[in-house]
Amino acid sequence: MLIVAVWRGGARRYDEEISMLAKLAVFVCIGASLCRGEEGRWNAKAAAAYLDQRAEWWMTWPNAARDHGTFCVSCHTAVPYALSRPRLRRAMGETASAGAEQKLIANVGKRVRLWAEVQPFYFSNKDAPNRSAESRATEAVLNALVLSVSAGESDALSPGLKIAFDNMWAAQIADGPNRGAFPWLDFHNRPWEADDSQYYGSALAAVAAGRRPTDSRRTDLLVAYLRREFASQSLVNKTMALWAAAKLPGILTADEKAALVRDLAGAQGPDGGWSLTALAGAWKRRDGTALPTATDGYAAGLVAYAMAEAGVSRTNPTLAAGLRWLAQNQSAVDGRWVGYSLNKDRDLNSDVGRFMSDAATAYAVLALTLEQ
């Protein structure tokens, strides 16, 4: 175990040194947990510990509990965890998946197997008559994405994954102005459950479909929808399209990708990161508080990851600055990258207040561990 602390000053007595150590941030490096690149240093072990703890908490939180002894697969905690934890495992040289990861995959697999029996995560009511169908479609996309990532790079399509994709494609909108898209939950929560989140969810479906092509006709409909609606989207949704386009050809042309990278460069902060407020379009919090404008880990992680997935070189000044910001802004206290809610001013150290930090940490990990 190596403990590193740096301070100014000459020789000090032993007790003074210990006192100083207690007051300074201390980084503990074990095995391959400290990752280094041109961008700087960040602690993979600390990130894994934070994400594991948060996933375990989410699985046992009463508000996340659903029927048949399952739990909700959330856009903020569960799905980002499923996307990022395998990458951390490889970065740290772990030989087995984390316990929380195994529980999450088992939960998703159970709901896929019992699809005809399990209830939707949320139910329709007089104010939201389509919510049950939106909930089922949202879950179907997330299930297919989680299981496709869990399956790794294998070309084999397991029975559970096949069912998950069948469920997903069955939920696709077949006609009308949103033909090719997927119904999506809208709780007036941006960026994942708002009036524009159908595009976000459909982009996630494209990421899943790009990993395991299972229905070319429906995939073509999905690509056509994402192309058709791209120009009208906010920058954060366009970033999702950039990610999806790296998995499915035809969503964006080379010129559109280049223009979007320029737009993202224009939205980049002077510190090298991005603010979700600046990317998400016109929006007001429900509690009337001002939206934060500081760089946050979710926006920075998502943009850097999507750019890298799209083939932007890590030497590109925009991407290099974003990765450098990520490498330099991990919390030395608990290993997370901080994210902020667009919907309400929350205590960032409360369990609910950490939701955006859960996603921020996962996407920061995805960006920093992506090999080119």
Residue 222 DSSP code: H
Rounded to whole angstroms, the Cα distance separating 278 from 297 reads 13
Each residue of 239-264: pLDDT tens digit? 999 999 999 999 999 999 999 999 99
β-bridge pairing 27-29 and 2-4:
antiparallel
Q: From residue 9, how far is each of 5, 6, 21, 27, 339 by CA, in Å? A: 13, 10, 13, 20, 36
Closest residue by Cα to residue 269 from 291, 240, 293: 293
DSSP calls for 300-329 = HHHHHHHHHHTT--TTSHHHHHHHHHHHH-
Each residue of 358-368: pLDDT tens digit? 999 999 999 99
Please provide residue 287's backbone torsions phi and psi, each rounded to the nearest 5 degrees: -90, 5
The total of other beta-carbon atoms located within 10 Å of residue 31's CB is 11
Tokens found for residue 137: 């479609």
Q: State the average pLDDT for the chain.
A: 90
Each residue of 27-83: pLDDT tens digit? 333 334 556 554 568 999 999 999 999 999 999 999 999 999 999 999 999 999 999
Closest residue by Cα to residue 327 from 15, 41, 34: 41
Q: What is the pLDDT of residue 34?
A: 57
Annotate 268-301 with b (16+ C-beta within 10 A) or e (fewer). bbeebbbbbbbbbeebeeeeeeebbeebbbbbbb
Q: Any residues with CB less than 8 A from the CB of 258 and at least 6 apart, and which?
A: none
- What amino acid occupies position 157? L
Stated pTM of the model: 0.89
SS3 357: helix
pLDDT band at 371 (very low <50, low <70, confident <90, very high): confident
Rounded to whole angstroms, the Cα distance separating 58 from 64 reads 7
Each residue of 89-136: pLDDT tens digit? 999 999 999 999 999 999 999 999 999 999 999 999 999 999 999 999
Q: What is the pLDDT of residue 36?
A: 53
Q: What is the average per-residue pLDDT within 3-26?
A: 35
Cβ(275)–Cβ(236) under 8 Å? no
The torsion of the CA quartet 163, 167, 169, 171, rounded to 10 degrees, works out to 180
Domain 31-369, architecture per CATH: Alpha/alpha barrel (1.50)
Rounded to whole angstroms, the Cα distance separating 343 from 339 reads 12
- What amino acid occupies position 83? L
**pLDDT cut 90: percent of the chain above it:** 85
Per this entry, what is the length of the chain?
Answer: 372
In the block, tokens 């080379």 appear at 254
Closest residue by Cα to residue 346 from 189, 135, 185, 122: 189
pLDDT band at 152 (very low <50, low <70, confident <90, very high): confident
Q: E-strand spans in the chain?
A: 2-4, 27-29, 34-37, 40-43, 65-66, 70-71
> Cα–Cα–Cα angle for 142, 186, 278, nearest 5°?
90
The domain segmentation of the chain, as residue ranges, is 31-369
Rounded to whole angstroms, the Cα distance separating 303 from 318 reads 10
Rounded to whole angstroms, the Cα distance separating 233 from 255 reads 17
Cβ(149)–Cβ(211) under 8 Å? yes
Q: What is the pLDDT of residue 35?
A: 65
Tokens found for residue 53: 């703890």
Each residue of 330-359: pLDDT tens digit? 999 999 999 999 999 999 999 999 999 999
Instruction: Indicate left, alpha or beta for 272 from its phi (over 0: left) and psi (-120 to 50: alpha).
Output: left
Q: What is the pLDDT of residue 214?
A: 86
